[in-house]
A and B are shown apart, each in its own frame.
Chain A
Amino acid sequence: MTRLTEAQRAEFDALRQLYEAELPDKLGLIAGAADALRAGGWDKSDLQAFYMLIHKLTGSAAIYGFDGISRAAGDLEMWALAGLTDGVPEPRRVELLPLVSALQDAFAAGGKSKVRRRASPPHR
């Protein structure tokens, strides 16, 4: 791993804090997209939009060290991807809200506590 200077470490931490501050907005967008999906009759374009939102969160949350959120988002992403491939039959529709709730729970419980702690390498 690249050895970071103190200034670089601070820069990275500041960026991560900014990302964390924006997480409620991201989760709000996802919850809204889930509502639109249900209200819109499980339209495929709504599902595609939902998938893109959740795909981004899965990747970015992990990169910024929010592993619990990334895992919960990853479950939702798999659900959406299956829907894009096979459609969303009735039995699978009921899975959406619990998965969205699990994502919100991951944030509420783990926004900080589940942050992957990176070992601070020696400064030079």
Chain B
Amino acid sequence: MVRRSLKRILLVEDDPDIQTVTSMALGSFGGYTVHVCGSAREALDSAASFKPDLILLDVMMPGMDGLDTLKALREIPATATTPVIFLTARVQPADVALYNELDSLAVIRKPFEPTALVETIHGLWARYRDQAD
């Protein structure tokens, strides 16, 4: 089932500097409700209660990385089908193939332009919604 509007975004990112600027872009510029998690564990603990429409997931994190985090999120009913966008500098073809295998919606390459992030996500969400219709 595709939700028609994008309102709630779960941001999973371990770097506080990137957390800050990304959540500001999404919240202040984009008007989304953003919940920030600094680790996979935090994300898994809060996913069910936050019920995100979209998850932005860093790949390279200490402990459980983004790929394993996505697999774990898929085991939680509230996020079993929630679209996930990876945020990563690792965008070699082999990396991207792996992200696709995991059924991610897209990859946003780091570094990204904070002021363009909202527009990028708008576009990806529209594509996701259209494909599901």
Which residues of A approach B to under 8 Å, CB–CB? Answer: 1-2, 4, 8, 11-12, 15, 19, 22, 52, 55-56, 58-60, 62-64, 70, 118, 121
Contact = CB atoms under 8 A, between A and B. Distances in A.
Interface of A is mostly: helix
Contacts of A12: 21, 24, 114-115
B111 interface: yes
Contact of A64 (B21, B30, B116, B118): B21
Interface of B: 15, 17-18, 20-21, 24, 28-30, 60, 62, 89, 110-119
Most chain B CB neighbours (cut-off 10 Å) among A1, A70, A118: A1
A115 to B, nearest CB: 14
12 contacts: A1-B119, A2-B30, A8-B28, A8-B29, A11-B24, A15-B21, A52-B62, A55-B60, A59-B89, A60-B17, A63-B111, A70-B111
B20 A59 contact: no
A60 B115 contact: no
Shortest beta-carbon contacts, A-B, top 7 = A62-B111, A60-B17, A63-B111, A1-B116, A2-B118, A59-B110, A56-B15
Given A11-B28, A15-B24, A70-B111, A63 B18 contact: yes
Contacts of B60: 55
Contacts of A2: 29-30, 115-119
A1 B115 CA distance: 6
Contacts of A15: 20-21, 24
Given A8-B29, A11-B24, A56 B115 contact: no
B112 A63 contact: yes
